[in-house]
């Protein structure tokens, strides 16, 4: 009897463990194991020609993300939370569409793990939001969150974090407002500002000081374009934003928002 129990314990210890995806969509929490998702009726094998995280072509077993978002409306706002604290803010509309760009939840098979993202780093699993034909809808690299653990429906960023808002007296067409939208897309996934935001990944970009205050303008631009060209260290995790991802005009607007917010820092207590 003891031998049987010991053998069972050994087999269990050697079996790969299924990961769990948490869905908090406002209609009760639901969990999906990786095994259940791999066997989902709509799961299929897909090919990604230019994978954002792996920088090469990849193949995945994946489920259309829309199949998991029951009750979510195109006007809703979602957030994908990764194991490391990365929090991607995602309008629901693009995630629900069937094309031309389509969102998929790639599922890592515990028995056939994906390759590491880099030497000494884990894979993009257990769950990774990938896109087929992303260029058809202008999908940005920040819309490919990996190592996802939770997807939840939340109020929009403007409602949840009023400390991020620029001066309400600014005209609707102000570049600062465009910069705020770009900040949400490109920066809020890793950073907070004025203590506001859900990310646990990078430093606050306005407290105690704003990067527009302590970087010379040309070096701040260089840092955003290619962080390793300015500050080189092996543990660096900030990606560069090439012009194909963030145009010079968009970078101007983003920096305009950051500079504007340097004057909207909360008072010290």
* 31: enclosing H helix or E strand: strand 29-33
All structural domains of the chain with their residue ranges: 18-154, 159-261
Q: What is the pLDDT of residue 238?
A: 82
Q: What is the pLDDT of residue 1?
A: 44
Alpha carbons 177 and 246: distance in angstroms, whole number: 16
DSSP 8-state secondary structure symbol assigned to residue 65: G
Instruction: With a cut of 90, say whether residue 197 has pLDDT above it.
Output: no
Torsion angle in degrees (nearest 10) through CA of 171, 172, 176, 180:
140
Cβ–Cβ under 8 Å, residues 77 and 120: no
Mean residue pLDDT of the chain comes to: 88
Q: What is the pLDDT of residue 8?
A: 40
Instruction: With a cut of 60, say whether residue 7 has pLDDT above it.
Output: no
pLDDT tens per residue, range 37-47: 999 999 999 99
* 58: enclosing H helix or E strand: strand 58-64
Instruction: With a cut of 90, say whether residue 14 has pLDDT above it.
Output: no
Max mean pLDDT among 78-87, 101-110, 225-234 falls in 101-110
**Residue 209 — pLDDT band, cuts 50, 70, 90?**
very high
Alpha carbons 243 and 263: distance in angstroms, whole number: 28
Q: What is the pLDDT of residue 182?
A: 92
pLDDT tens per residue, range 53-98: 999 999 999 999 999 999 999 999 999 998 887 888 889 999 999 9
Instruction: With a cut of 90, say whether residue 12 has pLDDT above it.
Output: no
Among the residue ranges 48-52, 97-101, 112-116, 198-202, the one predicted with the least confidence is 198-202
* 129: enclosing H helix or E strand: strand 127-132
* CATH homologous superfamily for the domain 159-261: Cupredoxins -  blue copper proteins (2.60.40.420)
Instruction: With a cut of 90, say whether residue 171 has pLDDT above it.
Output: yes
Chain centroid, CA 5 distance in Å: 43
| CA proximity to 68, closest of 43, 87, 51 | 43
* 45: enclosing H helix or E strand: strand 44-48
Alpha carbons 179 and 1: distance in angstroms, whole number: 67
**Residue 233 — pLDDT band, cuts 50, 70, 90?**
confident
CATH topology of domain 18-154: Sulfite Oxidase; Chain A, domain 2 (3.90.420)
Task: State pTM to two decimals.
Answer: 0.75
- Checking 165-173 for CB contacts under 8 A at 24+ apart, the result is 166/257, 166/260, 166/261, 166/264, 167/260, 167/264
Residue 136 makes CB contacts below 8 A (sequence gap 6+) with 99, 100, 101
């Amino acid at each position: 009897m003891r031998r049987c129990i010991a053998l069972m314990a050994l087999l269990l210890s050697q079996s790969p463990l299924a990961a769990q995806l948490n869905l908090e969509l406002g209609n009760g929490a639901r969990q999906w194991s990786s095994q259940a998702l791999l066997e989902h009726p709509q799961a299929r094998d897909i090919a990604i020609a230019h994978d954002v995280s792996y920088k090469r072509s990849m193949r995945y077993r994946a489920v259309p993300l829309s199949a998991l978002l029951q009750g979510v409306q195109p006007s809703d706002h979602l957030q994908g939370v990764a194991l490391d604290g990365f929090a991607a803010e995602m309008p629901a509309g693009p995630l629900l569409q069937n094309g031309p760009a389509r969102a998929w939840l790639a599922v890592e098979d515990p028995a056939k793990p994906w390759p590491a993202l880099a030497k000494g780093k884990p894979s993009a699993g257990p769950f990774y939001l990938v896109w087929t034909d992303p260029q058809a809808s202008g999908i940005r690299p920040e819309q490919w969150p990996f190592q996802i653990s939770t997807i939840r429906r939340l109020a929009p960023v403007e409602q949840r974090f009023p400390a991020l808002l620029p001066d309400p007296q600014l005209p609707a067409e102000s570049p600062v407002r465009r910069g705020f939208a770009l900040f949400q897309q490109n920066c809020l996934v890793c950073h907070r500002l004025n203590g506001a935001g859900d990310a646990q990944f990078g430093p606050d970009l306005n407290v105690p000081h704003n990067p527009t205050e302590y970087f010379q303008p040309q070096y701040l631009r260089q840092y955003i374009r290619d962080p390793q060209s300015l500050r080189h260290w092996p543990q660096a995790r900030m990606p560069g934003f090439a012009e194909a991802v963030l145009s010079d005009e968009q970078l101007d607007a983003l920096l305009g928002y950051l500079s504007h917010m340097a004057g909207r820092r909360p008072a010290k207590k």
